[in-house]
Copies of this chain bind each other. A is one copy, B any other.
Amino acid sequence: MQRLGKQSFTFENVYIDSFASGAGRKEREGFFGSYYDFVIPDMLFGEKSFEAAERRLFTETVKRVVVKSGKMIKDIDLLIGGDLLNQIISSAYTARDLKLPFLGVYGACSTMSEAMLLASMAVEGGYANTAVCGTASHFGAAERQFRYPLELGTPRTPSSQCTATASGALVVTGEKKRVRISGASIGVPIDFGITDANNMGAAMAPAAASTICTHLEDMGVEPEYYDLIITGDLGTFGSELLLDMCKKCGKDIKKVHKDCGAMIYSGLPNSYSGGSGCGCGASSLAAYFLPEVQKRNIKRLLFVATGALHSPTAVQQGESIPGIAHAVSVEAVEEYMPEITEDLYINMF
């Protein structure tokens, strides 16, 4: 590793072994639809509550990503995960059910990049050979907890975003693979005084701009160094703000920027300002962007999951909503040749 500035560093030997994603039926109709590993048949996924459905979605995604890596749950040394539910129960119950050593994190919708950078630290340092990082969110569970229960039928504002019912997980390892995690920048919470729980994009855009500009400066590169800079869930409104703010910092990222929240429901009716939720960025990364990196269609990708540290209690008490964003850079590995070991030949024949 090499440390660059206060917030940024590089990784030398951290690879992504596999990626998996799951989503709901609405997400299935959206831009990333046919790329998800599985789609849940309804919002309850065979459970009695939205919360239990979110948990099952996360558990199934973790199982899936482990299966896709050709490993077994017992080969996993560590699960780093979090979600939007109070006390991050989806992740905690998943760790309990799969009996995995567990480090719970909370970064609202920035959780995926926080989990990725911590998993990378753990793998690069040798604290884990193989770590899973992941997250999930569920529309019904998030709306009930952060805004209004769906049963109320509360009207939505144009700036509102729809929490994606989706999850994404990665297996991170020290063994050489086709995709590597090459660096990261840890974000600082930034607060522009937003108090509207239906305007998360505006709460998160300043933090995203701060982290992206800091990352580019620390790494000493221009935006074009990356084929793509993807933000997690700023939505259409937040993305416009981000482009403006980055431009003011002298970094014009317009040509390389995409936002998973703006993409996930593109073309669908009633999608307002787009998707949100920690599962939005995580599932888009795992379903669509990482396969493109593996195919070398994208050679360098900066993934910036953005979180609004929104607490209904604090907002009711008059507090504003700070945003936070962590950046993780992902690269296609050149000249990757899989090592075919003898026992693999035996399994083949």
A residues near B (Cβ < 8 Å) are 1, 3, 6-7, 9, 48-49, 51-52, 77-78, 82, 85-89, 92-93, 95-96, 99-108, 114, 118, 121-122, 124-127, 145, 186-191, 309-314, 317, 319, 322, 324
List B contacts of A107 (CB < 8 A): 103-104
Contacts A52-B317, A87-B314, A89-B319 known; 9 new A-B pairs at CB < 8 A: A1-B125, A51-B317, A93-B322, A96-B190, A101-B188, A103-B186, A104-B105, A106-B106, A121-B127
List B contacts of A49 (CB < 8 A): 317
- Tell whether A186 pairs with B51 under 8 Å between CB atoms, given A93-B322, A127-B1: no
Among B77, B105, B309, B319, contact of A105 (Cβ-Cβ < 8 Å) = B105
Q: How far is the CA of A187 from the CA of B313 in the complex (A)?
A: 30
Q: How far is the CA of A89 from the CA of B93 in the complex (A)?
A: 22
Contact yes or no, A186 B102, CB < 8 A: yes
Q: How far is the CA of A205 from the CA of B312 in the complex (A)?
A: 32
List B contacts of A88 (CB < 8 A): 106
Q: How far is the CA of A99 from the CA of B85 in the complex (A)?
A: 26
Q: How many copies does the complex hold?
A: 2
Contact yes or no, B85 A311, CB < 8 A: yes
Contact yes or no, A104 B100, CB < 8 A: no
Q: Smallest distance from the beta carbon of A73 to chain B beta carbons, Å?
A: 12
- Tell whether A103 pairs with B105 under 8 Å between CB atoms, given A92-B189, A309-B89: yes
Q: Could you write out 12 A-B pairs with CB less than 8 Å apart?
A: A3-B126, A86-B86, A87-B311, A88-B106, A92-B189, A96-B191, A96-B322, A99-B188, A103-B105, A104-B309, A118-B118, A125-B125
Among B89, B126, B188, contact of A313 (Cβ-Cβ < 8 Å) = B89
Contact yes or no, B127 A3, CB < 8 A: yes
Q: Smallest distance from the beta carbon of A335 to chain B beta carbons, Å?
A: 27
Contact yes or no, B189 A96, CB < 8 A: yes
Q: How far is the CA of A247 from the CA of B123 in the complex (A)?
A: 34
Q: Smallest distance from the beta carbon of A97 to chain B beta carbons, Å?
A: 9
Q: Smallest distance from the beta carbon of A289 to chain B beta carbons, Å?
A: 23
Q: How far is the CA of A187 from the CA of B118 in the complex (A)?
A: 16
Contact yes or no, B101 A186, CB < 8 A: yes
Contact yes or no, A188 B124, CB < 8 A: no
Contact yes or no, A186 B78, CB < 8 A: yes
List B contacts of A191 (CB < 8 A): 96
Q: How far is the CA of A36 from the CA of B90 in the complex (A)?
A: 36
Contact yes or no, B314 A127, CB < 8 A: no
Cβ-closest chain B residue relative to A115 = B103
